[in-house]
Amino acid sequence: MIKLYGLKLSYFTGKLEGYLRYKDISHEYCSVTAVDFSRRLRDKTGAMQMPAVELPDGRWMTDTSPMIDWFEKQYAEDPILPADPEQAFIGRLIEDYADEWLWRPAMHFRWSYPTSAKLLSRQIVDEMTPDLKLPAWLKRWRVEKRQRRIFVLNDGVSPETWDHVEQGYTRLLAILETVFQNRPFIFGDKPTLADFGLFGPLFRHFSQDPVPAAIMRETAPAVAEWVHRLWNARASRLDGTLVSGIPEDLKPLLREIAETHLENLCANAQAWSVQDSKFDAELQGAQYSGVPTSRYRVWCLEKLQERFAEVNGPSANPLKQLLEQQGCLEPLLRITNPASGYDKEREAPFGRSIAVYENLEA
């Protein structure tokens, strides 16, 4: 039996669970303890991150994007990558934005508001540290402090960027509300990679954490409905088709990705190329300062460029035009050689993985 190590409130665990359920890939969910997380998972995969998967043959893997690609090869029926190369690339781009850009608002809403931080630190402590002999209040205080420091205060959330961070979420809701009023999933009647990517932040964080969940319920009921529709979706029961091409209502999302995620990936890759450990970036007029440089995100840009270069044939020109019109093409190709040096042997999701921010303490 495949073992999935994670937490029922984790962004990326939720993303992978949604996918495994959709494909009916049977697995045993194992809740991660603090000791597993900082020792066992790191020893087995190279990265202190969840989810991690242990295969019946004893191999371990981590990192949802390459893991989903690997599962897609093993369970080739009902593929989640659209056959149309243009949709497939846009799906990859949306997944990357959901994984890497929406992480900040998700962590901000979870850890900047006491109602949420108290609830979540309690849930994390109860689940991860049942055997740790320390007063419960102290354990909760430590979790709350660690998460807020690393993922909010040290990740560029400040009085100057606070509103911009929150608007990134509310703008996304407005865009997706239109999309899901129009059809059940991003590209049609069944979910594709873009849906599973967005499921990471939208399921375990935005639809469940008290502050963003209230905003979602009040302003974007079709998005709330999509979250549960996806959780309940099974490839074996869905016989839907995909729309052709890229629907008009997704264009505002591409523009948003161009102005936020792609600009951020460029600033990060630029900092990486000169070995700066932190960088500043002005995004949609908001000034982010002292954001930690991430080698993993240099790799993300590298992979996106690689996948873009692979789109040949009749889809190449329409894709290029679309990306150009929505402001994505220039930032996608701005950094000519992102060279993260990561996964040169192409072993991911196996081998020694790296986390988004390396060397975080437990």
Ligand X SMILES: N[C@@H](CCC(=O)N[C@@H](CS)C(=O)NCC(=O)O)C(=O)O
| Least distance in angstroms from the C-beta of 65 to ligand X | 6
- Told to check if 265 binds ligand X by CB under 6 A, we report no
How many residues sit in the footprint of ligand X (CB under 6 A)?
12
Contact 197, 99 (CB under 8 A): yes
Interface with ligand X (CB under 6 A), residue from 11, 60, 187, 288: 11
Pattern 168-207, ligand X, x by CB under 6 A: ----------------------------------------
Cis peptide before 51 (omega within 30 of 0): yes
Interface with ligand X (CB under 6 A), residue from 5, 10, 303, 332: 10
Per the listing, tokens 């997380």 go with 37
Interface with ligand X (CB under 6 A), residue from 49, 192, 208, 326: 49
Q: Considering beta carbons, is residue 48 or 281 the nearer one to ligand X?
A: 48
Torsion angle defined by CA atoms of residues 22, 250, 10 and 81, in that order, rounded to the nearest 10 degrees: 40
Contact 261, 104 (CB under 8 A): no
Residues 322-361 interacting with ligand X (rule: CB under 6 A)? 356, 360
Q: Considering beta carbons, is residue 10 or 33 the nearer one to ligand X?
A: 10
Pairing of strands 2-6, 27-31: parallel
Which token pair is 257? 């990705």
Per the listing, tokens 């639809």 go with 207
Interface with ligand X (CB under 6 A), residue from 33, 45, 64, 260: 64
281, β-bridge pairs: 288
Interface with ligand X (CB under 6 A), residue from 36, 63, 96, 343: 63
Contacts of residue 185, Cβ cutoff 8 Å, sequence gap at least 6 = 191, 192, 195, 226, 229, 230, 240
Instruction: Write the Ramachandran bin of 342: left for phi over 0, alpha for psi from -120 to 50, otherwise beta.
Output: beta
Stretch that binds ligand X, among 48-56, 111-119, 191-199, 259-267 (CB under 6 A): 48-56
Residues 122-161 interacting with ligand X (rule: CB under 6 A)? none
- Told to check if 111 binds ligand X by CB under 6 A, we report no
- Dist. CA 343–CA 78, nearest whole Å: 28
What residues make contact with ligand X under the rule CB under 6 A?
Answer: 10-12, 48-50, 63-65, 99, 356, 360
